[in-house]
Structure 1
Amino acid sequence: MAAPNEITPAQLLRKIGTPDVPVIVDISIPEDFEDDPKLIPGAIRHSHTDMAGLMAKLNGRHSIIVCQKGIKLSQGVSAWLRSEGLSSEYLQGGNYGWRAHAGAPRVPFAALPVTSGSNTIWVTRHRPKIDRIACPWLIRRFVDPKARFLFVSPAEVAGVAQRFEATPFDVEGVYWTHEGPKCTFDKMLDTFNLRTDALDRIATVVRAADTNKLDQSPQAAGLLALSVGLSRLYRDDNAQMEAGLALYDALYRWARDGQNESHDWPGDRT
């Protein structure tokens, strides 16, 4: 019988990419992690010996604890958190179980930008439309839930990146940018090893809308219209980004399990 505080890889995979995903904490010991330095999308690293620091980091939020095999470390940490009144589960099979589950992506730790703080900082041109909203959504939902985004004048992106240890994206001449017909969103999917069916569907829509090739995706014109509308509704770029995240949350659910649904009138028409 499964433990009441155990979550399976299939159940966790359904949560990842959604705005209400719990905090995923990888507590694998350094030697195990160095042998296979990859993370479940959105996971953070933390030592199992620092419970006070972990509780402070969780700040009351529900967590899913992951160790190498889902045995003593993750079950012990999860039980400790529950003894402190926090809601916590452990991943069945740990990282081994996740690797064995079909379609479960893993983010290479080396692909994460180097930062002196606990979270990544990104900088791009102000007045975002499509790629510069899609990329923050991807990072927040699959890479770093607490990532910070700075929107500045195009001429100041390089300088801000240097002074604030931020990673520039979606500007010319940097690593995280367009390559040929592909967008920055595509670059991030490839580098972070996030090529899933659902994210590939979104990439097709983003690419068509962002490069003005609307004939390549039936949904691209709609994304373009909504993106332009958001840019007119909000003068503040960060407020626009936060509103845009909800748009991409909905697009993700469509791409994951709703793309075959249609609508007609009247409602009972077959």
Structure 2
Amino acid sequence: MPSPTEITVAQLSRIIGTPDSPTIIDVRIDEDFDADPQLLPTAKRWPFDDIASLAESLKGKRVVVYCQKGKKISQGVKAILREMGISAESLEGGHFAWRDAGKPLIPFNKIPLHNSHGRSVWVTKQRPKIDRIACPWLIRRFIDPEAQFLFVAPSEVLAVAEKFNAEPFDVEDVFWTHRGDLCTFDIMVEEFDLKTKALDHLATIVRGADTNQHQLAPESAGLLATSLGLSRMYRDDNAQLDAGMLIYDAFYRWARDATNENHDWPQATTGQKPAKGK
């Protein structure tokens, strides 16, 4: 049984990808990281012997730290943070336990460099509908919770990407875009190695809605209708993204936990007659 200040792989995997996910910090030594340069979803790298410099930014947050095996380094880092008033836990078994359980790991070389404020920056066309809301949701929930999204005129996406060192997505002739029958959301799930059953299911729904192939999933038509409704409700693209985050949170939790659940109005007993006087 883990200590009260440890979290198990199973417990952490249930909250990653949800709004309740903690801040996750990889404190492996460089040698261990170089041997397996992958991160838990949303994790950021930080030197274990400089963890105190992060304390102020972690105030009020739930924090999970992990090293290679969940032993001396993560135990020490956790203790330092807790002494400084941070609600910190260590991952039982560390990186090895997460890897050996077959949980998703993000290739570090696929994660864009962060700016001076510690955020990745992405740019796409203004007036998003489906892919351009779904992809930011995926990035904020599984890659970089602090990611910044710039919505600009279609003709200026690539120029803005160059000037502001941003990753362009869901436009032609860039890395993060449609490939063949796959939409940009599909590509991000694949390139970030996020091939879980729930995200694969959600990707099919997004693809069906984004490419007008509603036969791919019954939910695709509903996602299209919801997305078009949001685009009419919000003139500000960032406000629309904020609202859309809740929509994709709900679709993800359904795809992960509730696909076998139905909701039917109770039917009257066959042949039952109404009571007299009713």
Query: For the residues of structure 2 that align with 1:192 and 1:100, how far apart are their CA atoms?
Result: 18
**Is 1:88 equivalent to 2:88 in the alignment?**
yes
State the TM-score, normalized to the length of structure 1: 0.97
Q: What CA RMSD, in Å, does the superposition of the two structures yield over aligned residues?
A: 1.3
Note the alpha carbon deviations across 1:35-70, whole angstroms, 9 max, x for none.
110000011111111133221232331100110100
Partner of residue 108, structure 2: 109
Kindly indicate whether residue 75 of structure 2 is the aligned counterpart of residue 71 of structure 1.
no
Query: Would you say 1:239 and 2:245 are equivalent positions?
Result: no
Q: Are the aligned partners of 1:115 and 1:165 in contact in 2 as well (CA < 8 Å)? A: no
How far apart, CA to CA, are the structure 2 residues paired with 1:242 and 1:14?
A: 22
Superposed counterparts of 1:63-212, under 5 Å:
63-102=63-102, 104-117=103-116, 118-212=118-212
> Mean alpha-carbon deviation: is it higher for 259-268 or for 167-176?
259-268
List alignment gaps of at least 5 residues for structure 1. none
Q: Distance in 2 between matches of 1:248 and 1:66?
A: 28
- Is contact 2:2–2:8 with CA below 8 Å preserved after alignment? no
- Output the CA distance in 2 between the equivalents of 1:125 and 1:175: 15
Give 1:82 deviation, angstroms.
1.2
Equivalent-residue separation in structure 2 for 1:100 and 1:147 (angstroms):
29
Q: Which residue of 1 aligns with 2:47?
A: 47
Give 1:114 shift.
Answer: 2.9
Q: Does 1:256 align with 2:256?
A: yes
> What residue is the counterpart of 1:57 in the other structure?
57
Query: Given that residues 205 and 219 in structure 1 are in contact (C-alpha distance below 8 angstroms), is that contact kept between their aligned partners in structure 2?
Result: yes
Instruction: Report the residue type matching 1:11 in the other structure.
Output: Q
- CA distance in structure 2 between the partners assigned to 1:92 and 1:146 by the alignment: 26
Per-residue CA distance 1:224-259 (angstroms, 9 max, x = gap): 000000000000000000100010000000000111
Seq. identity, %: 57
Asked if the contact 2:58–2:86 (Cα under 8 Å) also holds between the matched residues in 1, the reply is: no
Instruction: Kindly indicate whether the alpha-carbon contact (under 8 Å) linking 1:206 and 1:220 is maintained by their aligned counterparts in 2.
Output: yes
Q: Which residue of 1 aligns with 2:266?
A: 266
**5+ residue gaps in structure 2?**
270-278
